[in-house]
Structure 1
């Protein structure tokens, strides 16, 4: 069973242009992706400055993208992070949220996502306050679906080290307090899960009282460490059997829009083919579809250097690779060159301030 597939643009670093966004949505929409949630960390009007409405030109661009999504049969959603609104969640915060939701409705959204990822979580009554805010949003939005990403969106202990120790029974409390129709984003046993299994998903669904919508942190490559690698390989570690345990499966894309589509296409094939899926063959077929025969062969040959060795350890090979891809007139090759030039590296300061 293939769950509803989507894109959650929820990473740090340089946001895509609207043209890049449209190209990705159109490419993946043709292959079966059915929703696109817009929420790059760099859009301050959705995160640190969430109380401020988008400038007119940005709102118009979002409205145009929303219309294009609908034209192609893709649901469009906006992800809002109301930082500082839960403690307290008082009348002023409620008024600010209601006003922002009205502005997002005016843009035209099918889905609303409320995200509390990558924020401090060591606060009293965290699940109670977050659930109250999300339920309030669900009652006032014009969106027909509401998604929620909790502060502790994985079992990974790195979240406790960075954002404070998670409250006891956090997921179970959320499950009891959230409206049953609200979908919950979850990344798996790790923030960037190497494998996602049926048993794990069943356990989390039992705590939340609903199947999760998978927020898959592949092929995302934000952060100062991950941005030094190109994540191009086909999806593995997501057996088709998990599809029946999910309310959806969204990928968090890489910095490189066209190259993102290569692994994204293999996810469709993984679900469709089940145990017959062969990830090497799936990669090459997807690369051919996106980049053409010759460039796909180049990417296959250079895959260990681009994805495993990474920018810092390429040494003299870096210039050779740059010359190799600069000689190819294709936007996917240009993305490789841009990465080799270090243009898309994400800094620790960006992560701290976005």
Structure 2
């Protein structure tokens, strides 16, 4: 991009200094939604897209994969393991860290040597195909009911006991697998209380007993956080006692499956990335449509100081429309009509502005243009 392109030898090259760096270390997406899964081809395409936008992590946690949750102890059939290996290779080719997230919480016995070994054995099969980053999500489970009597005997009952049990399991995986494999990235975990910063016996147990190098994932204040601030991130780091990697539930729409969420990443305070180990966004069931929001997530995570949600959103639309003006206009009208969300409370801001102008001053031309754009859009 900087060097002149000439057909003949000889040219002058200006001296140039480029200074650029990301606002936070990990920047990417976590495929962690419920409902209709992405296809293998969509996952491959997403990994290429992440690399193109300087996103460097993808967390493989699809709820449709039975070998991640219900059948977590079982090895993958060869054909399914081969597909994951293809994803790992695509990720590596685009400088994206493929993270494998195994969720044993529905049936694990935390005090069981056999279950610890099962976790480590499963991770080894993924290590053998090139995975170097691992996670153990313990979300969306009950910690008031044990899966085995031995856990109650060893840890007791209540939130503090659950935190101690989880820390015990994770520490063993961390010490017996992650730290014994040269080149492995720090272990990640999702706590059962992942959605606030309220002190609790559970969080206290994790803060005090979980190995300090384990990354804790957190969704903000609420499962879908309308805003996320520097102060909240500092509170999360304080209450969990560990580096925080956000699991940001935008633009995920598994809780609103009759809608697409096509607005930009919003409501995140400037300075937030610097307080975090990283930002991962949970996308929609619709992989291609998720790229609008993910483009803006990438912009914010790389340079939050200069981030402008509307400007980034416009850039996403232009890129995804291939630079064609008519397609960009059609996509913008469509995305405007699907703009509203917890992060973007104003529904259809451009169409709403045309309607407001009509009622305020009788500007029927602007409203006709906005409605005609929707009608004519392919």
> Which residue, out of 109, 126, 137, partners 2:162?
126
**Is the Cα contact below 8 Å between 2:110 and 2:168 reproduced in 1?**
no
Q: Deviations over 1:227-271 (max 9, x none)?
A: 111111111111231111100100111111122111111123234
Q: Please report how far the alpha carbon of residue 84 of structure 1 lies from its aligned counterpart in structure 2 after TM superposition.
A: 4.1
Q: Please report how far the alpha carbon of residue 117 of structure 1 lies from its aligned counterpart in structure 2 after TM superposition.
A: 1.0
CA distance in 2, matches of 1:85, 1:94: 12
Normalization by structure 1: what TM-score? Answer: 0.80
Q: Deviations over 1:86-132 (max 9, x none)?
A: 54521232232232122222232121010111111224210011111
Q: Please report how far the alpha carbon of residue 288 of structure 1 lies from its aligned counterpart in structure 2 after TM superposition.
A: 1.1
Residue aligned with 2:277, SS: strand
CA distance in 2, matches of 1:8, 1:150: 15
CA distance in 2, matches of 1:321, 1:78: 43
Residue aligned with 1:296, SS: helix
- Structure 1: which 5+ residue stretches go unaligned? 158-166, 311-319, 328-354
Partner of 1:287: 317
Partner of 1:51: 73
More relative contact order in 1 or in 2 (CA 8 Å, sep 6+)? Answer: 1
Partner of 2:45: 23
Which is worse superposed, 241-250 or 260-269?
Answer: 260-269
Q: Please report how far the alpha carbon of residue 324 of structure 1 lies from its aligned counterpart in structure 2 after TM superposition.
A: 6.5
Partner of 1:347: none
CA distance in 2, matches of 1:245, 1:275: 13
Residue aligned with 1:155, SS: coil
Partner of 1:266: 296
Q: Please report how far the alpha carbon of residue 77 of structure 1 lies from its aligned counterpart in structure 2 after TM superposition.
A: 1.1
Partner of 1:175: 207
**Is the Cα contact below 8 Å between 1:243 and 1:271 reproduced in 2?**
yes
Which is worse superposed, 106-115 or 148-157?
Answer: 148-157
**Is the Cα contact below 8 Å between 1:213 and 1:246 reproduced in 2?**
yes
**Is the Cα contact below 8 Å between 1:221 and 1:231 reproduced in 2?**
yes
Residue aligned with 1:48, SS: coil
Partner of 2:332: 300
Residue aligned with 2:134, SS: strand
CA distance in 1, matches of 2:110, 2:300: 45
Partner of 1:149: 190
Q: Please report how far the alpha carbon of residue 135 of structure 1 lies from its aligned counterpart in structure 2 after TM superposition.
A: 1.3
**Is the Cα contact below 8 Å between 2:330 and 2:373 reproduced in 1?**
no
Structural mapping, 1:1-354, within 5 Å: 2-3=23-24, 4-123=26-145, 124=157, 125-139=161-175, 140-141=177-178, 142=181, 143-155=184-196, 168-223=200-255, 226-272=256-302, 274=304, 276-292=306-322, 293=324, 294-308=326-340, 327=378
**Is the Cα contact below 8 Å between 1:134 and 1:178 reproduced in 2?**
yes
Based on CA coordinates, which of the two structures has the bigger radius of gyration? 2
**Is the Cα contact below 8 Å between 2:197 and 2:232 reproduced in 1?**
no
CA distance in 2, matches of 1:109, 1:192: 29
The count of corresponding residues between Structure 1 and Structure 2 is 306
- Structure 2: which 5+ residue stretches go unaligned? 1-21, 146-156, 341-346, 349-371
CA distance in 1, matches of 2:139, 2:114: 23
Q: Please report how far the alpha carbon of residue 323 of structure 1 lies from its aligned counterpart in structure 2 after TM superposition.
A: 9.2
The 1:277/1:265 distance shift into structure 2, 3 A limit, reads: same
